Amino acid sequence: MKLSDQIISSAKETISNEANAIANLENFIDEDFIKAVEIIYNSEGRVIVTGIGKSAIIANKIVATLNSTGTPSIFMHAADAIHGDLGIVQENDVVICISKSGNSPEIKVLVPLIKNFKNTLIGLTANKDSFLGKEADYILNCYVEKEACPNNLAPTTSTTAQMVIGDAVAVCLLNLKGFSSRDFAKYHPGGSLGKKLYLRVSDITAQNMVPKVSPENNIANTLVEISEKMLGVTAVIEDEKIIGIITDGDIRRMLKDHSDISGLTARDIMSKNPKTIDQDTLAVEALEVLEKNQISQLLATENGKYIGVVHLHNLIREGIL
């Protein structure tokens, strides 16, 4: 077999193995799973997630997911816990202990200590008959028939299953809490994701100058206003109301249609009924309007009054697009 064929075969077999194992996890969503989620949902404390080896890495990921979706969580390494870090666990906390075998030496030492503290212990394990399986108050079953590793040794499918069960718990809690996109934004203020959830039109217009002319302004003044404000557009304002817009495209059409522009005014070349957007609208919604109408600029308003321009380039610069 060629090297390339061997690589493709191995990759596909791994994906197939893990996909089948994950699909089978649906059969393990039982009464214990329900009770575990309910206990966490009603808890006045935090969720402490612990594990050893690869399970510890998965524990870190589950903690990150829970925290980002509104369930306060802390990672505690199982080995460090029995050497002082057990102080992390407080009276009302719920502990999730992750172990594929459920029989790791560190787990056997840690579990009785947690039980002595009277904290609810949830075992996330592939072996319900293990030490962890028998001692835990509730079991999150992540059994897999075999690892993707051809020797059935390296944690591959099993750690994927652990992570998926953790995600299932987090999403259940998210839904029970009615966790919205606005809540999500509070925990994800950075990067383009955060900006899509909190950046508003007013945040964009505050960065820009505010181009505007009266309908009777001559073309020379209008061109100067467009050029100086550097947005490729100007609003046409009469009695404090928007009556039109002049874009670079309007200027090009004017030059094409008129050999003599000396007598023209802003009113003569403006486009009427321009697209506007309220300043409190999310910037990502402004992008949707621009894309839907195949335009590059929107006039922003506050209580119907013109306050500035949102340009497609602003949204690109902010990482919204």
Question: What percent of the chain is helix, strand and coil (3-state, nearest 5)?
Answer: 50, 20, 30
CB atoms within 10 A of CB 88: 17
Burial class (CB in 10 A: 0-12, 13-18, 19+), 299: buried
Give the Cα separation of 94 and 121 in Å (integer).
6
Stretch(es) of the chain classified as CATH 3.40.50.10490: 3-179
**How confident is the model over 263-286, as a mean pLDDT?**
92
Q: What is the model's pLDDT at position 190?
A: 64
Q: What percentage of the chain carries pLDDT values higher than 70?
A: 96
Q: How confident is the model at residue 243 (pLDDT cuts 50, 70, 90)?
A: very high
Could you give the strand order of the β-sheet that contains 73-77, starting from the edge strand earlier in sequence? 73-77, 47-51, 94-98, 120-125, 138-141
Between the two ends of the chain, the Cα-to-Cα distance in Å is 45
Q: Are strands 120-125 and 276-278 parallel, antiparallel or unpaired?
A: unpaired
> What pLDDT sits at residue 198?
78
**Residue 248 CA, distance from chain mean position:** 37
> Considering only 49-53, 190-194, 231-235, which range has the smallest mean pLDDT?
190-194
Torsional sign, CA 158, 130, 151, 144: negative
Outline which parts of the chain fall under CATH 3.10.580.10. Answer: 201-317
At 283, give phi and psi (nearest 5°). -60, -35
Residue 312 in 3-state DSSP?
Answer: helix
Structure tokens at 80: 């460090």
Q: How confident is the model at residue 89 (pLDDT cuts 50, 70, 90)?
A: very high
> Where does the pLDDT of residue 188 fall: very low under 50, low under 70, confident under 90, or very high at 90 and above?
low
The closest of 67, 100, 95 to 81, measured between CA atoms, is 95
Dump pLDDT digits (tens) for 297-319: 999 999 989 999 999 999 888 88
Q: What is the pLDDT of residues 105-151, one digit of tens each?
A: 999 999 999 999 999 999 999 999 999 999 999 999 999 999 999 89
* Between residues 124 and 250, the one the model is more confident about: 124
The predicted-structure confidence for 288-300, as pLDDT tens digits, reads as follows 999 999 999 999 9
Give yes or no for residue 234 having a pLDDT over 70: yes
Tens of pLDDT along 5-39?
899 999 999 999 999 999 999 999 999 999 999 99
Under 8 Å between Cβ of 82 and 113: yes
- Spell out the residues 6+ positions from residue 319 whose beta carbon is closer than 8 angstroms to its own: 191, 192, 195
Average pLDDT over residues 267-285: 92
Percent of the chain with pLDDT over 90: 81
CATH homologous superfamily of domain 3-179? Answer: Glucose-6-phosphate isomerase like protein; domain 1 (3.40.50.10490)
Q: What is the CA radius of gyration of the chain?
A: 30
| Residue from 272, 253, 275 nearest 264 by CA | 253
pLDDT given for residue 318 in this prediction: 84
Predicted TM-score (pTM) of this structure: 0.70
Is position 258 annotated in a ligand binding site? no
CATH number of the structural domain 201-317 = 3.10.580.10
